[in-house]
């Protein structure tokens, strides 16, 4: 199942992106990883290290806008 951001998610992402682009992209990554119940599970003892690894693998530039259509002003 692939993640399709809805209007409410995009609004929240845009608000976060204006304040801190890297945080907005962590939010996007966790939304993509979440299961149907919205839970994200990591098998590693330190999830922060795994999240950092996934961010570098998923995004070319973690501070760049990642949703299609560009940022809304």
Would you say residue 20 has pLDDT above 80? yes
**Domains of the chain: total:** 1
For residue range 33-46, what is the model confidence (pLDDT) as tens digits?
A: 998 888 999 898 89
- Are 3 and 32 in contact by the 8 Å Cβ rule? The answer is yes
In the structure encoding, which two tokens stand for residue 46, read together? Answer: 């330190």
Residue 48 lies in a domain: yes
Average pLDDT, the chain: 89
Answer yes or no: is 25 within a domain: yes
Residue 29: give the domain boundaries.
7-58
- pLDDT value for 33: 92
Nearest CA to 69 out of 1, 7, 2, 3 is that of 7
pLDDT of 1 higher than 60: no
**Rounded-to-5 percentages of helix, strand, coil across the chain:** 50, 0, 50
In a domain, 66, yes or no: no
pLDDT the model gives residue 73: 62
The pLDDT tens digits of the residues spanning 54-69 come to 999 999 998 999 988 7
């Amino acid at each position: 199942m692939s993640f399709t951001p809805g209007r409410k998610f995009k609004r929240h992402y845009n608000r976060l992106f204006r304040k801190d682009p890297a945080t907005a992209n962590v939010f996007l990554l966790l939304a993509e990883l979440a299961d149907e119940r919205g839970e994200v599970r990591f098998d590693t003892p330190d999830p922060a290290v795994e999240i950092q690894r996934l961010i570098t693998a998923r995004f070319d530039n973690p501070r760049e806008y990642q949703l299609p259509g560009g940022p809304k002003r």
